[in-house]
Amino acid sequence: MNKKPFVIFGLLLILLAVVIPFWAFEKDGNTANNEGIPSESTPGKQLFQTNCGNCHTLYAAGTDGDFGPNLDAKLAPAGPPADETAVKGIKTQVMAAIEEGADSPDVPGRMPAGIVTGTVADEIADFVAHYAGEG
Ligand code: HEC
């Protein structure tokens, strides 16, 4: 008797029962362990879109508000910050704007103080400091 069909069927069974679930499991595992978190999923980005995007353009957040200054041009005219010191400098400037508001005599419109506070303010300032200048 020819055993070939049984061998082929056996191999097919192994493929279905072992290889495919293993492959699917591996894929899930990889997604869950993904370490490089893109700016797309940082909480600061969404918070920026909600609280600042109506007035400010920021390329990394995909916002195009034009009531206030374009924050890429304003905060990082030479491109994204090169090191942590530069990031901290921008973050300080953003926190100052959030906490104190901004009302320069030469700029039309003003930014009210305290639009956001606490950890929300911190998340936003952190996001802006890291991603300003990408556009
Ligand atoms: C109601 C509109 C409005 C909203 C909302 C707003 N801003 Fe502003 N923002 C402005 C205006 C207008 C200016 C310019 C004010 C000026 O210089 O007179 C400004 C200026 C700034 C500046 C520059 C300050 C400087 O150093 O001169 C930063 C940084 C800033 N905003 C960040 C933010 C962030 C972060 C948020 C969200 C928490 C935000 N803004 C929300 C209107 C807004």
Residue pLDDT, tens place only, 54-73: 999 999 999 999 999 999 99
Closest ligand 1 atom to residue 105 Cα is 18
| Contact yes or no for 57/65 (Cβ under 8 A) | yes
Phi and psi for 57 in degrees, rounded to 5? Answer: -85, 130
Other Cβ atoms closer than 10 A to 86:
16
Q: Which two tokens stand for residue 63?
A: 């916002």
pLDDT-derived band at 1 (thresholds 50, 70, 90) equals: low
Q: Tell which wins on pLDDT, 8 or 45.
A: 45
Higher-scoring residue by pLDDT: 106, 15: 106
Looking at ligand 1, which residue's alpha carbon is closest to its atom 13? 68
pLDDT score at 16: 72
Q: Is the pTM of this model over 0.85?
A: no
Atom of ligand 1 nearest to the CA of 67: 12
Report, at the CATH architecture level, how domain 39-131 is classified: Orthogonal Bundle (1.10)
Parallel, antiparallel or unpaired: strands 63-64 and 57-58: antiparallel
41 has pLDDT over 70: no
The reply to whether ligand 1 has any atom less than 6 angstroms from the CB of 119 is no
Q: 54 CB less than 6 Å from ligand 1?
A: yes
> Residue 32: what pLDDT?
44
Place of tokens 């493929």: 15
